[in-house]
């Protein structure tokens, strides 16, 4: 599936979230979370499906179709998660005010469909 172009994302953000801009990284150091290591590794999905008797086709079917060169039913852009901050925000502003906002942009609908923050 294709991703939306940065230019298209910026147009959607300008329309649906005026006063915000897309950022690649939060400007405030504390807003970057540390990644913790997992305690254990779980079995793969197909093993779990067999263990619990799930007979519906898995994602492996879609992967196999892609590997065989079969075109997927829809070729719409993917939904994307985008990090925003107010225009003109500095690291000092981020330390005092609310942190970055996260939105979900629908590739098919070309609009923001979810918000956090």
| pLDDT above 90: percentage of residues in the chain | 27
Nearest to 32 by CA among 43, 24, 44, 41: 24
This prediction's pTM: 0.56
Question: Cβ contacts of residue 27 below 8 Å, gap of 6+?
Answer: 85, 89, 90, 91, 94, 100
pLDDT surpasses 70 at 92? no
pLDDT surpasses 90 at 104? yes
pLDDT surpasses 60 at 33? no
pLDDT of 73 reads 58
Q: Which of 21-25, 32-36, 73-77, 94-98 has the highest mean pLDDT?
A: 21-25
At residue 31 the predicted structure's pLDDT band, cuts being 50, 70 and 90, is: very low
> 48-86 pLDDT, tens per residue?
888 888 776 666 666 776 677 655 556 778 899 999 988
Q: Which residues of 8-22 are buried (b: 16+ CB within 10 A; e: fewer)?
A: ebeebbeeebeebeb
């Amino acid at each position: 599936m294709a991703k939306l172009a940065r230019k298209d994302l910026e147009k959607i953000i300008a329309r649906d979230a005026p006063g915000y801009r897309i950022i690649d990284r939060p400007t405030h150091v504390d807003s970057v979370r540390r990644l913790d290591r997992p305690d254990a590794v779980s079995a793969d999905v197909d093993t779990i499906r067999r263990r619990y008797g799930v007979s519906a086709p898995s994602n492996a079917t879609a992967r196999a179709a892609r590997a065989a060169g079969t075109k997927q039913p829809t070729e719409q852009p993917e939904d994307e998660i985008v990090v925003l901050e107010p225009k003109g925000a500095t690291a000092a502003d981020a330390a005092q005010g609310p942190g970055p906002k996260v939105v979900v942009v629908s590739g098919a609908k070309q609009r923001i469909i979810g918000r956090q923050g």
